[in-house]
Chains A and B, each alone.
Chain A
Amino acid sequence: METLITLVQIGIGAALINNFVLYYFVGICPFLGVSRRIDMAFGMGCAVTFVISIAAALSWTFTYFILRPGAPLPAWVWETVGGTSGNVDLSVLSYIMYIFVIAGSVQFVEMYVRKFFPALYKSFGVFLPLITTNCAILFACLEIMKHLQDPTRLWGLHEALTLAVGGGLGFTLAIVLMAGIREELDMCDVPKPLRGPGIALIVAGIMAMAFMGFAGVDRGIEAALSTLLK
């Protein structure tokens, strides 16, 4: 039960309360660039959710087994060469490793989809190269890394994946809402100096303020779930 509540909290937290785009302001480039039409925005959101999940799974694996302080692989090497005191810490490699792994896996997935699912490739294949090393995705990896530092409270793969999927869904929600507003804006008489990026950024700011209303929702959900599951 504890686990379920934690997972729900992580998921809701990543999707709504600490929305990647509207709370942390990462992933702004696709958020502004591809939010002109709802269908395109939805495609982009799906692509981000997909890539972020793959990236989270891979980066969790690498961090857990190789990069974190006290990881099994460096410890084994250290013992093999005869070291006794002290730990090998490879967390300095995290950034380069994440970028490398994400870019490689997205490239692989793109080729695979192009070969075996041409229709799918046509509808969202174009977005994949755009987001390979997008900051929202790197941010999810770093967030996962943050929770793999303390050996007494390590995140499992399920927690990492929940964060990633929640974050991806939150991104989709934000970009689709934004696209809906911008489609309506096309019909409006926006003052000339504000047209284009100006009004888009103002809209994004107001949306961010609206999303601040979700702050504190997690505690309520926790209370409700714990009484419900008792």
Chain B
Amino acid sequence: MLNTVTMLLAAGVLGLLAVVVACVLGWANRTFHVKVDPKVLAILEALPGANCGGCGFVGCGEYAEAVAAGGTDVTLCAPGGQSCAGQLAEIMGVAVEQTFPYRAVVHCAARTDQRLGRTDYLGEPTCVAANLVAGVQGCTYGCLGLGDCVAACPYDAIHIVDGLATVDYDKCVGCKACARACPRNIITMVPFKAERMLVVACSNKDFGPQVKAVCEVGCIGCKACSKHAEAMKMEGHLSVIDYDAYESEDQFAKALEKCPRESMIFVGKPRPEHLAAVAAEELPERIEADFKTTVDDTEWRG
């Protein structure tokens, strides 16, 4: 008798509870329903969902809401590129102008042995830490080569080669993560109007003798290039390229010829004729990672 009543009561209590909770939640679901703009959902669908923050919003969700609310440019998503901007424009019913993919450019060209006045640095192996210490290397503008940008890159597109951060343009999607990570602010985003772009790979704003004392390749501010190319101007003692006026690399041919240093370089994909020119030379073989033996060092997330 006691057992029967206990069992019946247990079943009854649970059953009643289930019915009550189901009713309350069902009612709440209808009463507290929040209308989500279908545009937001459509935009969210069109975005790559990488949540990289390159657009300046916290994640894809925030950007989608901002676009749907109007007044925000539809072309801000760097990983999505032109096709994503097109889809967003279609959803929002606006016209989209042609956009160029922005890619990271490291404004320093000096390899370790070309940087002068270096001292042994044995502190924390991060650029943020090393940048706080005076006299790590002569040039206070140049790349420190400790790889904060490498750690920040979610696409494995930037690596330290001979002590210099080097972008892999096959992988770079222009999310700005490296530019934000760099404590010396020498990585900027450049609109790639062609497969390869001419950039000034130096950030040193000092004048000639000071630059020569700390670097073998840096820009000395001689103004030779800005005299021969209209799209180049001087910022202090550093020449910079105005990318709004950049049409093709041919307009810089004269300036490039006059440059006494090696601070103007091409980045991006090489042209076929350049590849053919060096085909005969012996190049080091590209080493591919062996995933069978490489330990997965991706960060653990709980």
Beta-carbon contact of B302 and A112 below 8 Å: no
CA distance A66 to B9 in the complex (A): 10
Q: Which of B5, B29, B31 has the most CB of A within 10 A?
A: B5
Indicate whether A210 reaches chain B with its CB closer than 8 angstroms.
no
Query: Residues of B contacting A206 with CB < 8 Å?
Result: none
Q: A188-B124, A189-B125, A196-B299 are in contact. Are A111 and B29 (CB under 8 A)?
A: yes
Query: Residues of B contacting A196 with CB < 8 Å?
Result: 299-300
Residues from 18 to 62 in B contacting A, C-beta threshold 8 Å: 18, 21, 24-25, 28-29, 31-34
Indicate whether A90 reaches chain B with its CB closer than 8 angstroms.
yes
Indicate whether B2 reaches chain A with its CB closer than 8 angstroms.
yes
- How many contacts A-B (CB < 8 Å)? 73
Indicate whether B287 reaches chain A with its CB closer than 8 angstroms.
no
Beta-carbon contact of A96 and B14 below 8 Å: yes
Query: Residues of A contacting B1 with CB < 8 Å?
Result: 83
Residues from 130 to 187 in A contacting B, C-beta threshold 8 Å: 187
- Stretch among A5-13, A47-55, A73-81 lining the B interface: A73-81
Q: A77-B5, A86-B2 are in contact. Are A66 and B34 (CB under 8 A)?
A: no
Beta-carbon contact of B2 and A111 below 8 Å: no
Residues from 68 to 117 in B contacting A, C-beta threshold 8 Å: none
CA distance A34 to B129 in the complex (A): 26
Query: Residues of A contacting B34 with CB < 8 Å?
Result: 114-115, 118
Beta-carbon contact of B124 and A197 below 8 Å: no
CA distance A101 to B20 in the complex (A): 11
Residues from 94 to 139 in A contacting B, C-beta threshold 8 Å: 96-97, 100-101, 104, 107-108, 111-112, 114-116, 118
Q: A32-B302, A114-B34 are in contact. Are A189 and B6 (CB under 8 A)?
A: no
Residues from 3 to 55 in A contacting B, C-beta threshold 8 Å: 29, 32-33
Chain B contact surface mostly? helix
Beta-carbon contact of A104 and B24 below 8 Å: yes
Count the B residues whose beta carbon is within 8 Å of the partner chain — how many? 29
Q: Distance (Å) between the CB of A115 and the closest chain B CB?
A: 4
Q: Distance (Å) between the CB of B201 and the closest chain A CB?
A: 29
Q: A90-B13, A96-B14, A97-B17 are in contact. Are A108 and B5 (CB under 8 A)?
A: no
Q: Distance (Å) between the CB of B151 and the closest chain A CB?
A: 10
Indicate whether B128 reaches chain A with its CB closer than 8 angstroms.
yes
Beta-carbon contact of A74 and B17 below 8 Å: no
CA distance A115 to B30 in the complex (A): 11
30 contacts between A and B (CB under 8 A): A32-B302, A33-B302, A77-B9, A78-B5, A81-B5, A83-B1, A86-B2, A88-B9, A90-B6, A90-B9, A90-B10, A92-B10, A93-B14, A100-B21, A101-B21, A104-B25, A108-B24, A108-B25, A111-B28, A111-B32, A112-B32, A114-B32, A115-B31, A115-B34, A116-B32, A187-B124, A187-B128, A187-B129, A195-B299, A197-B302
| 10 A-B pairs closest in CB distance | A33-B302, A115-B32, A196-B300, A104-B21, A111-B32, A32-B302, A86-B2, A111-B28, A88-B6, A197-B300
Q: Using a CB–CB distance below 8 Å, which chain A residues touch chain B?
A: 29, 32-33, 66, 74, 77-78, 81, 83, 86, 88-90, 92-93, 96-97, 100-101, 104, 107-108, 111-112, 114-116, 118, 187-189, 192, 195-197
